[in-house]
Structure 1
C-alpha cells in the first residue's frame, strides 16, 4: 500500500510563488534545495511529522535533463497551484508493477544526506492527466518532514477532479486508503489541496 508523503505546488518562479503561498497560508516556507538531475528547486513546509508541502519550480539557468522534467514542469504555466501528490512505498519496483502504465521509471536521487528512488514518467506527465500520484521510496531514515519547523498547517483534503473519475478511482483503490483523498468528476483535470492553517482553512 502507498502512503501520502507530500504534495507539490508548482510555480513559474520560486521567489514569486513562495511569496504567494506564504501570504495565503500565513506562515513562512523553509529553504529547500536544488535537484540537479531535474533542473528544479524548491521551498518546503511541514504538514506534520510525516508529511510536507513542496513548492517547486524550474531553476533558471540550470541544465535541463535529457527527458521532460518531473511534475510536467516543462509545460507548467499560469497561477501557482497544486499539481502533484507524491506517495511513498517500501518497494518502488513492486508499486510500479501495480501502477498504471506510464507512472514512470525509477531514478536514484540525492540531496545532502537525503537519498531516494522516484518513478519519473518519460513524458513528464503522470497517468490520468497528472492526477495519479508520483511514487517515491526513501532510502534510509532521513526524510524532510521531521526536520521542518511545525507551523501548525495540516493537509485535511485532496480533491482530484478528473474527466475519468471512475477510472482514476479504480486505479487508486487497491493502492492507497486515505479518507482525505476525494475523486470528483469534472471536465478539466486538476487538483485542490485543502489545508488547515492557524488562520483558517485554505485551498491551494
Structure 2
C-alpha cells in the first residue's frame, strides 16, 4: 500500500481553493468533475508522486445517492478530511465498509473503495483505497509545486488498532498515528514559504 494523495473538503470549490492557495502560497491546477458522485476538484502536485486535492459538491451536478468523502455531511471551513492510498491488492484492502466503485474522469480511470453511505472508512482513520488503471496518475502528471509532505498524523480513538492493521501493508515513516478524540487529520507541508500545517 502506498500513500497516493490527501483530500481537503470544502463547501464550495472556490472557497477551498482560495484557502489552500493562501496557506501554501502556490496555485492549484485544474481538476475536473466526478459525475457519479456529484463533485469536482482542483489539484496540487507534491514531491514523491503525491498530490493534494480540494474537493467539493458540484452545484451543477445531479446525483442519485450519497456523495463520497462524506461531503453530504460536511460543513464549516475547508479542512483535511481524507487520506488515500493505492493498494497492490485492491480487493483485500476493501475493509471498513468500502465497496468497489469503478471511476472515470476524462482519460483517467481508477477503482475506488467507497462505503455505500458515502462515509469515510473509520471516520477517516483508515485510508480510502484506490487502484489506478493508468500509467500516469495525477501524482506523476502534475507539475512540481515546490511543496512536499513532511508528516501526516491521524488522531483517532482506535489509533493503535488501525496502525496494527496497516503494519506490513503501509510502510511510510511520514504517516503516524496518535490516540485521541475527536478524529482529526493533520499534515505538515514544506512549501516555498516554509512549513505549513493543514
CA contact (8 A) 1:128 1:168 kept: no
Query: 2:145 matched to 1:147?
Result: no
**TM (normalized to structure 2)?**
0.95
The correspondence for 1:75, drawn from 55, 73, 76, is 73
1:22-65 CA-partner distances (Å, limit 9, x unpaired): 00000000010000011000000001251110000011131123
The correspondence for 1:185, drawn from 175, 179, 196, is 179
Give the Cα–Cα distance (whole angstroms) in 2 for the partners of residues 172 and 90 of structure 1. 13
Give the Cα–Cα distance (whole angstroms) in 1 for the partners of residues 123 and 87 of structure 2. 22
Q: 1:78 to 1:185 in 2, by over 3 A?
A: same
Match of 1:160 in 2: 154
Match of 1:200 in 2: 194
1:124-144 CA-partner distances (Å, limit 9, x unpaired): 223322211010000131311
Q: 1:37 to 1:176 in 2, by over 3 A?
A: same
The Cα RMSD (Å) is 1.3
In structure 2, runs of 5+ residues without a counterpart are none
1:96-131 CA-partner distances (Å, limit 9, x unpaired): 2xx3x31x1111111111110011111222332221
Q: 1:46 to 1:171 in 2, by over 3 A?
A: same
Number of residue-to-residue matches in the alignment: 198
